[in-house]
Amino acid sequence: MVNNYLDLVAHFGIGGAHPGGFSLTKSILEDETIQPVEAVLDVGCGTGQTAAFLAQRFGCQVTAIDNHPVMVMKAKERFEINGSSVLVIAGDAQNLDLLDNSFDLLIAESVIAFTDISKTLYELSRVLKSGGRMIMIEMAAEQPLPEELRKKACSLYGIKEIPNEDEWKLKIQQAGFTHIETIDTSSEFIHSEITDINPSEIVNMDLYDLWDEHNRFITQNYDFIGFRAFRCRLP
């Protein structure tokens, strides 16, 4: 299925292309206790910015997966340049070709909302070890969305729904996770600057128009659509 917004992120090579950006990612991960022996899965790794940070900062065993071929290529390039020992896999978060109970920690940043949410959450719970943790940063409705706005958002981002905080928590719980908490995110992370870009040699001009449309939409509707960061674990 074609998703023009994900094509935009891939071909512009935007690292930290999620709400709060890479600054929020680092802030959250620095509060985690991550051991070198732990296996970590970065789901929807994009260009590999977070996966590279995890491997370098914590020395843990990182697997990075994405279903966009351009993302996978750019992630591999990043790890090669950095000398990171991250394993990169092309794959679908909704149907992971990974063994059950394989990972101690899962990271998902602006990924699950672009999939069948419940299906992906169940799949993530399958590959996570008992007692394992998951951190996710996802788009969330701040208040009930007017129907026209909901349709516009779903069309622009190629998504089916925009859950609010309580709806996200319910979906996470239904997938078998417990100890679900909303991570306190400072307002300084709401408008994050993009500092990591690796554009493709040839970028379709339509994607520049889409980028402008995305920025206008976010600016005009931040009262309606924001994000939430969650931390949860399996029993």
Per-residue tens of pLDDT for the chain, all 235 residues: 456 877 777 777 666 555 677 889 999 999 999 999 999 999 999 999 999 999 999 999 999 999 999 989 999 999 999 999 999 999 999 999 999 999 999 999 999 999 999 999 999 999 999 999 999 999 999 999 999 999 999 999 999 999 999 999 999 999 999 999 999 986 544 455 555 666 676 667 787 787 788 889 888 998 999 999 999 999 9
> Measured between alpha carbons, how far is 155 from 178 in angstroms, rounded to an integer?
32
| Ordered domains of the chain (ranges, CATH) | 4-233 (3.40.50.150)
Where on the phi/psi map is residue 46: left (φ > 0), alpha (ψ -120 to 50), or beta?
A: left
How would you list the strands of the sheet with 61-66, edge to edge?
87-90, 61-66, 39-43, 103-109, 128-141, 225-233, 178-182
> Measured between alpha carbons, how far is 109 from 136 in angstroms, rounded to an integer?
6
Per-residue buried b or exposed e for 104-131, using 16+ beta carbons within 10 Å of the residue's own CB: bbbbbbbbbbbbebeebbebbbbbbbee
Q: Are strands 225-233 and 178-182 parallel, antiparallel or unpaired?
A: antiparallel
Name the residue among 153, 222, 167 with its Cα closest to residue 190. Answer: 222
Question: Which pTM value belongs to this model?
Answer: 0.88
Name the residue among 47, 2, 40, 39 with its Cα closest to residue 22. Answer: 47
Contacts of 53 (CB under 8 A, 6+ apart): 22, 25, 26, 29
Give the pLDDT score at 189. Answer: 44
Q: 17: which DSSP letter?
A: -
